[in-house]
Structure 1
Amino acid sequence: MVQGLTTTIELVSLAIAAWCLVSTFRDRPMVVPHLVAMAVLELLLIAQVVVSITMLVGGARPPDTATFVAYLATAALVPPACAVWGFMDRSRWGPAVIAFACLILPVLMVRLEQLWSPGIG
């Protein structure tokens, strides 16, 4: 796990969540800039997946590798799934779905860090 990348994912995710919550409270549907922000977030997550898999293949392994891989896959799949769901819902709740996904990701990132280095935190 790369600490800087993990922190960037957490901060970007929280910023998108705040933006989407503002859209929800203003009764606005999800628009293309929301999708662009989610695409950027997904690219960061894909980078984290590639780095993590590279480290796993290189021999660095967390104590519970299966759980780590499951959390990593979940983190990579939540944003696209919620982006599709949010875009299909043309009401004010579309951005709320995105905000929900973006609030889950920092928790997943913290959990991934805990699994990678169980003595930390």
Structure 2
Amino acid sequence: MILWFTIAQVVVAVAAGVFCLIAGLIGRRPSDFSVGALALVELLLIVQVMVAIVAPLAGNPPTGDLLEYWVYLVSAALLPVGAVLWALMERSRWSTVILGVAAFAIAIMLWRMQVIWSVQIA
């Protein structure tokens, strides 16, 4: 993984999480802005999938368990999709809070993926 890209992803995910959490707690229902914030997180995760495919071929292999890394990555990529589907089916303020919680979970998963990729020794 690329450290600066991971940090950028974590910052975007945390910003989306804070925005959605605050919007939900003040009573806002899911909108284009809250769903769009998670769509941006999902877009960055799709780019991360491409980076994870190319990086080992370019001489940047993972030092940790590759299976564990991919399970985290696929799970993180599915999380925004599930949260947005939930938000669109149940349009309440709590759905917006769920979008924020999903974004925070993705931020944590991204950092764990960085640790798996670069810190552990297999």
How high is the TM-score relative to the length of structure 2?
Answer: 0.89
Give the match for residue 63 of structure 2: 62
How many positions carry a matched residue from both structures?
120
Uncovered stretches (5+) of structure 1, i.e. residues with no partner: none
Whether the 8 Å contact between 2:62 and 2:118 is mirrored in structure 1 is no
After TM superposition, where is structure 1 displaced by more than 6 Å over at least 4 residues in a row?
Answer: none
2:76 counterpart SS class: helix
Q: Is the 8 A contact 2:64 2:120 kept in 1?
A: no
Tell me, in whole angstroms, the C-alpha distance in 2 between the residues paired with 1:21 and 1:68.
28
Task: Return the offset for 1:62.
Answer: 3.2
Find the aligned partners of 2:76 and 2:5 in 1 and give their Cα distance.
Answer: 14
- 1:17-56 alignment to 2 at 5 Å? 17-56=17-56
Q: What is the RMSD computed on CA atoms of the aligned residues?
A: 1.7
Structure 2 segments unaligned to the other structure (5+ residues): none
- Identity, in percent, stands at 31
Deviation at 1:61, TM superposition (A): 3.2
Tell me the distance in 1 between the aligned counterparts of 2:106 and 2:100.
10
Report the equivalent of 1:110: 111
**Equivalent residue number for residue 86 of structure 1:** 87
Superposed CA offset, 1:64-89 (max 9, x none): 11111111111111111111112221
CA distance in 2, matches of 1:93, 1:21: 9
Task: State whether residues 63 and 120 of structure 2, in contact with CA within 8 Å, keep that contact through their aligned partners in structure 1.
Answer: no
Q: CA separation in 1, counterparts of 2:111 and 2:97?
A: 22
